């Protein structure tokens, strides 16, 4: 009973405190470059939520982060720190391209989209398989191997774009543009319903796919037998062996699911926005996913909320650097870094003081309840 907070404090209050501190420190940075932090905050929030297009952009970015956040979280529940979501997403794009490039002349989008989902998940999962296997069988640390596989993935992508997928005669390292059938429909109808257009934002159906996957991840982790075994392996490996849960199988399957989720992130930018693979289409979403999973406490609901927060930072940050020339794109990245630092790395900074506060002002009923325990 000691050293524990009520659930609401753990899941809501503590992240809020962390976030507040991140913004206070970020505000000081903004002041340092000679801008008004309150005005900057206003521009940031307005840019992200102030108008239809801004909201759509925020949700578009959030879609990426939901996929990669879920990817990191699933592995995390099994005690695996998958740093490789970035690389798995890059390779996932090859699965998307395979479906779109070969079929976009032949079939409608609603046939290609499911195939692309399967393709992206399979390619992403395949990219996670080798690190998973090395971890499970040989004990090679998954943090190291997945980081290495990120580098290999981006090299593979450069090679594929330059040597294989680039249309003849083009100078740009990218695939040809997919036909209409190779694109995921945008959500303009949704925004028109609310009386605003998308205003050019690339928000598309994969946002709903992300929400569905978040629900499925919740079911997987807390309502299936495999989820139980996965959490047992992640929380107490010796108890898992005692319970007859095969560690190798559990680790490998978990990483395949994690890689598959990361791979599906590629659907959003590749098929939903650019309609082709461009270099660096992930824009670091794999790494943001780590922060999203940490901040969201590896719970799908938390991940969706954290993903929207980071979507806001991406979108609002873009507007901010446009409106305040002093605040460059790099400054936005610094602010995002601060949020990651406070929400993720310094997660335990305020926890002890908060626990002390709670124990001091905890009601009598709480204390007597604890005693009975």
| Residues making contact with other proteins (CB under 8 A) | 1-4, 219, 223-229, 231-232, 235-236, 238-239, 241-246, 355, 358-359, 362, 366-367, 369-373
- CB nearer to other proteins: give 105 or 360: 360
Q: Closest separation between CB of residue 231 and other proteins, Å?
A: 7
- CB nearer to other proteins: give 79 or 289: 79
Q: Closest separation between CB of residue 152 and other proteins, Å?
A: 32
- CB nearer to other proteins: give 171 or 372: 372
Alpha carbon distance 178, 169 (integer Å): 17
Q: Closest separation between CB of residue 147 and other proteins, Å?
A: 28
**Cα→Cα distances 191→16, 187, 208, Å:** 29, 7, 14
Distance of CA 232 to the CA centre of its chain: 24
Question: 163-186 burial by CB neighbour count: b if 16+ within 10 A, else e?
Answer: eebbeeeeeebbbbebbebbbbeb
Q: Closest separation between CB of residue 320 and other proteins, Å?
A: 40
Q: Closest separation between CB of residue 2 and other proteins, Å?
A: 4
Computed on alpha carbons and rounded to an integer, the radius of gyration of the chain in Å comes to 22
Distance of CA 21 to the CA centre of its chain: 22
Is the four-CA dihedral 341, 210, 274, 266 of positive or negative sign?
positive
Q: Closest separation between CB of residue 354 and other proteins, Å?
A: 11
Tokens of residue 338, six digits: 């601060």
- CB nearer to other proteins: give 345 or 367: 367
Tokens of residue 183, six digits: 């694109």
Q: Closest separation between CB of residue 13 and other proteins, Å?
A: 16
Alpha carbon distance 332, 41 (integer Å): 12
- CB nearer to other proteins: give 150 or 232: 232
Tokens of residue 102, six digits: 């070969």
Q: 267 by DSSP, 3-state: which?
A: helix
Distance of CA 262 to the CA centre of its chain: 8
- CB nearer to other proteins: give 168 or 373: 373
Q: Are 287 and 156 in contact (CB under 8 A)?
A: no
- CB nearer to other proteins: give 177 or 236: 236
């Amino acid at each position: 009973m000691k050293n524990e907070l009520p659930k609401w404090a753990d899941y809501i209050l503590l992240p809020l405190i962390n976030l507040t501190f991140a913004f206070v420190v970020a505000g000081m940075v903004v002041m340092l470059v000679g801008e008004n932090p309150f005005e900057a905050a206003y521009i940031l929030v307005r840019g992200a939520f102030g108008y239809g297009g801004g909201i759509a952009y925020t949700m578009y970015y959030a879609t990426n982060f939901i996929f990669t956040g879920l990817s990191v979280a699933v592995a995390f529940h099994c005690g695996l720190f998958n740093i490789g979501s970035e690389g798995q997403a890059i390779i996932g794009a090859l699965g998307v391209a395979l479906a779109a490039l070969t079929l976009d002349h032949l079939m409608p989008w609603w046939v290609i989209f499911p195939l692309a989902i399967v393709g992206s998940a399979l390619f992403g999962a395949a990219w996670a398989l080798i690190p998973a296997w090395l971890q499970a069988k040989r004990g090679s640390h998954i943090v190291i191997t997945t980081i290495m596989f990120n580098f290999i993935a981006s090299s593979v992508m450069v090679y594929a774009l330059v040597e294989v997928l680039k249309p003849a005669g083009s100078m740009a390292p990218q695939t040809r543009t997919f036909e209409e059938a190779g694109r995921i429909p945008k959500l303009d109808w949704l925004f028109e319903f609310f009386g605003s257009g998308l205003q050019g934002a690339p928000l598309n159906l994969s946002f709903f796919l992300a929400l569905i996957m978040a629900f499925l991840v919740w079911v997987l982790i807390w309502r299936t037998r495999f989820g139980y075994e996965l959490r047992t392996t992640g929380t107490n490996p010796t108890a898992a062996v005692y319970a007859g849960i095969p560690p190798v199988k559990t680790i490998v399957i978990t990483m395949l699911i994690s890689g598959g989720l990361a791979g599906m992130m590629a659907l959003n930018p590749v098929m939903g926005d650019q309609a082709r693979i461009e270099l660096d289409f992930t824009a670091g979403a794999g790494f943001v996913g780590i922060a999203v999973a940490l901040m969201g406490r590896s719970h799908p609901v938390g991940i969706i909320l954290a993903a929207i927060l980071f979507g806001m930072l991406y979108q609002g940050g873009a507007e901010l650097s446009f409106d305040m020339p002093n605040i460059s794109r790099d400054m936005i990245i610094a602010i995002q870094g601060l949020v990651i630092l406070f929400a993720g790395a310094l997660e335990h900074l305020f926890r002890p003081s908060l626990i002390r506060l709670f124990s001091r002002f905890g009601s009598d009923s709480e204390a007597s309840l604890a005693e009975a325990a």
